[in-house]
Amino acid sequence: IRPIHVIGGGLAGSEAAWQIAGAGVPVVLHEMRPVRKTDAHQGEGLAELVCSNSFRSDDPEGNAVGLLHEELRRCDSLIMRAADVAKVPAGGALAVDRDVFSAEVQKVIEAHPLIELRREEIAGLPPAEWDNVIVATGPLTSPPLADAVRALTGEQSLAFFDAIAPIVHRDSIDMDKAWFQSRYDKVGPGGAGEQGEGADYINCPFEKPNYLEFHAALLAAEKTEFKDWEKNTPYFEGCLPIEVMAERGPRTLTFGPMKPVGLTDPRTGRKPYAVVQLRQDNKLGTLFNMVGFQTKMKYAEQTRVFRMIPGLENAQFARLGGIHRNTFLNSPKLLDSQLRLKAMPSLRFAGQVTGVEGYVESTAIGLLAGRMAAAQRLGSEQPAPPPTTALGALHTHITGGADAKHFQPMNVNFGLFPPLGTDVPRNERKPGLSRRALRDLATWLNGATAAAA
């Protein structure tokens, strides 16, 4: 059997190589460190954790990332196995000794008879004779490869920085204060709370005094600094951090993303002083994105300050905002459901570069890409996991569930899952989603085993 080539020995690439080898297919894993370094990695170990040593919550019933841990374990994930070996006490979270973790991954990869590890940079598109390649080069993909992918996919389709606005669970927005309306359109039929045709936005209204308080809070909030090597981040005028806009003067936001023109608050019958608009972020309609609110405020500050917005007092955030150096594809537009580049199907993508965010999410897409690539090499096809699983919810999001026009990196959260019926009480929803996910994952795994037999 001819080998599959995996470029990048980070979290996704190491997981992909392990899954491919586990299917009995040889793999060549190309990792550029230490020949060429990145700005964030310190050493040369495989699957180096570049920042925190935490894989976040390990609770499969209360947290979507905990559920993703459990699903990965059930899929025989190398990254989860190494994390469990390297585990250090961290309450309900899964945290690891980063050196033990990376050494464990490296030991297993180096010992596997079907995996060849080559320390080299792939500085451009891979040779044409590599017919089955996984690109898992991460948020700091080396420039020659990133430039080649950009030339292939188009200027707008590979970003070098993200500009993430917070995303809110729709069912945590107080629709007694907020209402659906697109600018210059009528309020949705049935008044506030009803979505009328063309009414794509949820609006949260401010009067002058509470706007001024909010503006002051934006200015005073603690911000995260850019890392030294991120300092030349190009702030595009179109996506300045909200607090940078606020610094230009108290009225700047009311003429910018918070402008109230064309909107009528159904409760007062007039135009508010300012608004925050939220736009639907996924096809399911469970998540809404705060338009123009990309920010460098610290996470705790974002939660505090954004809950000052009328209608968002009890907002649950599916993800908070951020701006980082981050190479990622517009996957909903560019990738097929097998994670292959439509423009060059011999290239499959995995990890953070596909527009997921986080160690565990990157691993998850590495696992799927590895299984899909191996199945293809063996003459079959690995179907995507059901969207009711955490693996499937993430996969669906990046291959079409997200809006390609405004695509920004996403972490796993329960808002990505098809909701349970409204008759399920609120406190039973997460455990219910989790049980459904693990049941559907078992069916999917059985199908995969049957196909392989």
Contact residues toward ligand FAD (CB under 6 A) are 7-13, 30-33, 38, 40-41, 50-52, 121-122, 136-142, 145, 351-353, 358-359, 362
> Minimal distance in Å, beta carbon 429 to ligand FAD?
25
Contacts of residue 131, defined as CB under 8 A and 6 or more positions apart, other chains included, come to 2, 346
* Alpha-carbon span 299 to 320, nearest angstrom: 7
Give me 349's structure tokens: 């993508």
* Of 115 and 199, CB closest to ligand FAD: 115
- φ, ψ for residue 356, nearest 5 deg: -95, 165
For the bound state, the minimum distance from the C-beta of residue 12 to ligand FAD, rounded and expressed in Å, comes to 3
CB closer to ligand FAD out of 354 and 376: 354
CB of 109 to ligand FAD, least distance (A): 12
* CA atoms within 13 Å, Cβ hemisphere of 185: 18
Cβ atoms of 142 and 121 within 8 Å: the answer is yes
Q: Of 36 and 73, which CB lies nearer to ligand FAD in the complex structure?
A: 36
Radius of gyration of the chain (CA): 23
* Both structure tokens of 416: 């990505």
Instruction: Please identify the residue of the shown chain whose CB is closest to the bound ligand FAD.
Output: 10
If one counts every other C-beta atom within 10 angstroms of the C-beta of residue 211, the result is 24
Question: Min. distance of Cβ 452 from ligand FAD in angstroms?
Answer: 25
Around Cβ 228, how many Cβ atoms within 10 Å? 8
Phi and psi dihedrals of 277, rounded to 5?
Answer: -105, 140
Q: Residue 82 in contact with residue 104, Cβ under 8 Å?
A: yes
- Tell me how far apart the alpha carbons of residues 210 and 194 are, in angstroms, rounded to a whole number: 25
CB of 400 to ligand FAD, least distance (A): 20
332 or 409: CB nearest ligand FAD: 409
Residue 422: exposure state from Cβ atoms within 10 A (0-12, 13-18, ≥19): exposed
Calpha distance 101→246 (Å, rounded) = 43
Of 137 and 376, nearer to ligand FAD (C-beta) is 137
Q: Is 65 helix (H, G, I), strand (E, B) or coil?
A: helix
Residue whose CB is less far from ligand FAD, 38 or 264: 38
* List of residues 6+ apart from 269 with CB closer than 8 A: none
Judged by CB, which is closer to ligand FAD: 33, or 296? 33
When the beta carbons of 221 and 356 are compared against ligand FAD, the nearer one is 356
